[in-house]
Amino acid sequence: MPRTALTLDAPGGLCSATLHTPEGTGPWPGVVMYVDAGGVRDTFHAMADHLAGLGFTVLLPDVYYRAGGFEPFDMNTVFTDPEERARLGALMQGLTADMIVADGAVYAATLLDRPEVTGPSVGTTGYCMGGRASLMVAGALGGTIGAAASFHGGNLAKADDPDSPHHRAAGIEATVYVAGATEDASFGPEQFTLLDDALTRAGVRHIVETYPAAHGFAVPDNPTHDAEAEARHWAALVDLYRAALV
């Protein structure tokens, strides 16, 4: 799929990103793809290419741009190597909720300003910490986000966390799709129920469901990758966007 390198004027400085588009002439619906904790790497470029091939213009931003760039993580060893795990933790902790929302506004505006993008709103999708970011941005940006997805996202509904996405449910105008994993301590049954109830009370069109897989199922370079669950996630994502984005 065609790729275009971009440099965005973001709240914390210059943010590198890639724009992935289908073959042919557009425009197409736009989507922001939020990476997991491992950051932008070859696997996510391939995932953005795949989503572009399904008919969408995809923006893949470097969410860690404030750190001045970083060496990609090896997802097979990052959680067992103490130094790498500490480096990952520092990057994650340095990305606050306010930063995520401010950056999300720039990512969405970038897409809406592109000639390759159609429609008055964009979609978001995210994985692991990116699933949380996807829902946070939907809750903060209202009608700018027409569809928001989260796959094996963690900490989506924690009552004692003021930044928990479920607290922003009233601000969501998007159609929401959330797929958790049966083997995932970061999004267990209690959070599932709390999130589903919050979205229902807010009148948000949504599906919250659980795949019979482990956390990380949709990302091919994760040790817990599940091919069947990954295929299911692509089908659900396309159904969401085709129904909610124009």
Concatenating the DSSP letter of every residue in 103-161 gives HHHHHHHHHHHSTTEEEEEEEEEEETHHHHHHHHHHHHHGGGEEEEEEES--SS--TT-
Confidence band (pLDDT; 50, 70, 90) for 91?
A: confident
Confidence band (pLDDT; 50, 70, 90) for 90?
A: confident
What is the per-residue burial (b if ≥16 Cβ within 10 Å, else e) of 36-51? bbbbbbebbbebbbeb
CA distance 61 to 8: 9
Instruction: Report helix, strand or coil for 53.
Output: helix
Q: What is the pLDDT of residue 10?
A: 97
Q: pLDDT tens-digit profile of 95-152?
A: 999 999 999 999 999 999 999 999 999 999 999 999 999 999 999 999 999 999 999 9
Is pTM beyond 0.75? Reply is yes
Q: What is the pLDDT of residue 68?
A: 84
Q: pLDDT tens-digit profile of 21-76?
A: 999 988 999 999 999 999 999 999 999 999 999 999 999 999 999 998 777 888 88
- Exposed, middle or buried, 23 (CB in 10 Å: 0-12/13-18/19+)? exposed
Q: Could you tell me which of 205, 221, 203, 164 has the C-alpha nearest to residue 187?
A: 164
Dihedral sign of CA atoms 191, 219, 131, 73 in order = positive
Alpha helices in the chain (DSSP H): 42-53, 82-93, 97-113, 129-141, 189-201, 227-244
Per-residue pLDDT for 80 more than 90? no
- Judge whether 101 and 50 are in contact, CB under 8 Å: no
- Judge whether 117 and 111 are in contact, CB under 8 Å: yes
With a pLDDT cut of 90, the percent of the chain lying above it is 87
Confidence band (pLDDT; 50, 70, 90) for 81?
A: confident
CA distance 114 to 206: 28
Per-residue tokens: 123: 């979609």
Confidence band (pLDDT; 50, 70, 90) for 203?
A: very high
Q: What is the pLDDT of residue 88?
A: 82
Domains and CATH numbers, the chain: 1-119 (3.40.50.1820), 137-246 (3.40.50.1820)
The stretch 89-97 carries a mean pLDDT of 89
Per-residue pLDDT for 246 more than 80? no
Per-residue pLDDT for 222 more than 90? yes
- Judge whether 203 and 197 are in contact, CB under 8 Å: no
Single-letter amino acid code for the residue at 57? T
